[in-house]
Amino acid sequence: RLGNMLFCYASMLGIAARNNMTAVMPESSRLVSVFKIQTDLTPDLRVTLGMYKAHEEYGRRGSAYDFSTRNLPKVNTKLLGYYQSWKYLEGADAIVRENLKFRDAYLNAAESFLEAHPPASADYTRVGIHVRRGDMLQDYYQRFGYVVPGAEYFAAAMEYFHKKFSHIQFVVCSDDISWVEANVKGEHVVYSRSRSDVVDLAILSLCDHMIVSVGSFGWWAAYLANGITVYYKDWPKEYSMLEYNVDKKAYFPPQWI
């Protein structure tokens, strides 16, 4: 999944920078075709690494922070895990953003969508909304601890921005357009039907602020938009297996509300 890939890549950049090491990734990575990646690429990671040490996330907690990555041994190292924490990006924000510029085809598609849906006022604030549903509603994921917000969450988040800004356009991207059309409604709301996760991510990155539901895709949409982010606090389900894997203070940036 695109959001998971972004966490692995960006966290690698942050860990490499902190340890004064060189980041390397396979040239076959999907991210290379999506972003203007400047990281060193290799056709065969096994050959490039040669003899290496594998570093696996402490406790295999994918959405937490592994403090041992602050001081890695000075040998070729392969990172194993999800590495989903804003703390890995500390001190490397400029490097990450420089490497996550969309390739022209995706950026142009996103800009064309927004130009085709102009806001009602020239003096406006554009707020992106990402609504993840899809597989999160399946029994397995529900039992594991995934939850999705209902319509009331999005209504409250939208009201927050209405109180903060005079003129707003909401741009909604989702894997369940029929649900959002019925439940995420209001004046000046537009819906993306791009059928491309990359184009949707580019659209959301061009927004001023973000409302996110659950999942790494929305997390990265908010990071790239780089404005005010409202997030869903009732994820994951309490006392679930997923909750064990998530350290909320390490996963959600402290400035999010």
Q: Give the tokens for residue 28.
A: 């076959």
What's the pLDDT score for residue 14? 98
pLDDT digits 0-9 by tens, 219-241 = 999 999 999 999 999 999 999 99
What's the pLDDT score for residue 58? 67
Tell me yes or no: is domain 104-251 CATH 3.40.50.11350. Answer: yes
Separation of alpha carbons 210 and 218, rounded Å: 9
What's the pLDDT score for residue 51? 82
Residues with pLDDT less than 50, the chain: none
What's the pLDDT score for residue 157? 99
What's the pLDDT score for residue 59? 64
Task: Cite the residue boundaries of each domain of the chain with CATH code 3.40.50.11350.
Answer: 104-251
